[in-house]
Structure 1
Amino acid sequence: MAHFPLNHPLRPLYRTLAGLTGTYILIFGCVGLTKTVGQTLFARESTWTLGLRTNLAFAIISVIWGLIVVVANLIGGNVGHYTNLAGAAVFMVTGIYMVAFMQTPANFLNFSVSTAIVSLIFGVVLLLAGMYDKTGSPESQRAEQVYKSTSIPRGAPRR
């Protein structure tokens, strides 16, 4: 099972980075909606928004995910933690999928190389935020520290 540190001292920084990432995604989606209005949902035209290629479907998805990430990081707590981890998985899987199928009809979100790279970077930022923004009570944090200090004797090899 994965272990995420509780109440990491840089948690506000990571949450801010995730919130800024969500803000960019939201702005990209909104601008993309204005540029792709009137096109078919999965158009493969050369429509560029904020340096990334898009279509109406990708713009709508970006607005939805941007809102989710921004709101979750504004709420904070473990809502942001789990949302950032889920967003990281979504952006990384989507980026890898689109790299694999970029020159085929399966590129239904109209990705370009730059769009795939930015999607992967956003996935890494959200993963980093999700790994270090877990919150817990002071009691659970103390219990975690006690467990870590007593579970493995100093000098013992880890398995």
Structure 2
Amino acid sequence: MHLPVNHRLRPQWRFLAGLSGAYLLTFGIVGAIRTAGEPFFARTDIEALGLKTNPAFAWLSVIVGAIVLGGAIVGRNIDHFINIFGGAVFMLAGLIMLTVMQTPANLLNFEISTCVVSFILGTIMLIAGMYGKTGTPADSIAEEVLRHSTRPGDKFAVKPHANK
């Protein structure tokens, strides 16, 4: 996998991932307060920040939001790994919840809007993870050379041309 090292937009993507974590943490806290006393996997109409929730989903959001926000604050490639893994999990969770939405297996009380938010957060986190890798200047140069090099016998490789 060839991911850019020290990409120039890394701070902006790290900030967006941090905002995603802050949103999840806020959603979870509001949801935990609003669903206090409800059964853990309740399927009621209680909402937090416009999305249906239950205590299980609220507390899961608090935990995941704290991890994502903590990773964005710490940085140092920790956020890179958290965002790559977390983004994939959010995408997969959105797909799974789409398939079980109208069944008793919808334990987290998802609806379409929750799946859309899951896909948006997953996309932001995946991109932040892809552009969030840090390293030494030598690592950055080595990655650029690797990304732009051609292999012998590569039929469709773009070959550099000499200026005349």
Could you say whether these structures have the same fold, taking a TM-score greater than 0.5 normalized by the shorter chain as the test? yes
The 5-angstrom pairing of residues 8-157 of structure 1 reads: 8-152=7-151, 156-157=155-156
Where structure 1 has 5 or more consecutive residues not aligned to the other structure, the ranges are none
Where structure 2 has 5 or more consecutive residues not aligned to the other structure, the ranges are 158-164
CA shift at 1:47, angstroms?
0.8
Contact 2:68 2:79 in 1 (8 A): yes
Q: What CA deviation, in whole Å up to 9, does each residue of 1:16-56 have, x standing for no partner?
A: 00000110000000000000000011001111110101000
Q: 1:81 to 1:35 in 2, by over 3 A?
A: same
The share of aligned pairs that are identical, in percent, is 49
More displaced 10-residue stretch of structure 1: 104-113 or 144-153: 144-153
Q: What CA deviation, in whole Å up to 9, does each residue of 1:70-124 have, x standing for no partner?
A: 0001000210000001110111111111111100000000001101110111000
Whichever residue aligns with residue 92 of structure 2, its letter is V
Contact 2:2 2:147 in 1 (8 A): no
CA shift at 1:147, angstroms?
3.0
Q: 1:149 to 1:4 in 2, by over 3 A?
A: closer
| Higher CA-based Rg | 2
Q: 1:8 to 1:148 in 2, by over 3 A?
A: same
Whichever residue aligns with residue 52 of structure 2, its letter is R
Structure with the bigger percentage of helix = 1
Whichever residue aligns with residue 36 of structure 2, its letter is V
Q: 1:76 to 1:40 in 2, by over 3 A?
A: same
CA shift at 1:148, angstroms?
3.5
TM-score, with length taken from structure 2:
0.90
Whichever residue aligns with residue 119 of structure 2, its letter is L
CA shift at 1:143, angstroms?
1.9
Q: 1:137 to 1:102 in 2, by over 3 A?
A: same
* Corresponding residue for residue 7 of structure 1: 6
What's the secondary structure of 1:91's corresponding residue?
A: helix
Q: 1:148 to 1:93 in 2, by over 3 A?
A: closer
Contact 2:2 2:143 in 1 (8 A): no
Root mean square deviation, CA, Å = 1.5
* Corresponding residue for residue 161 of structure 2: none
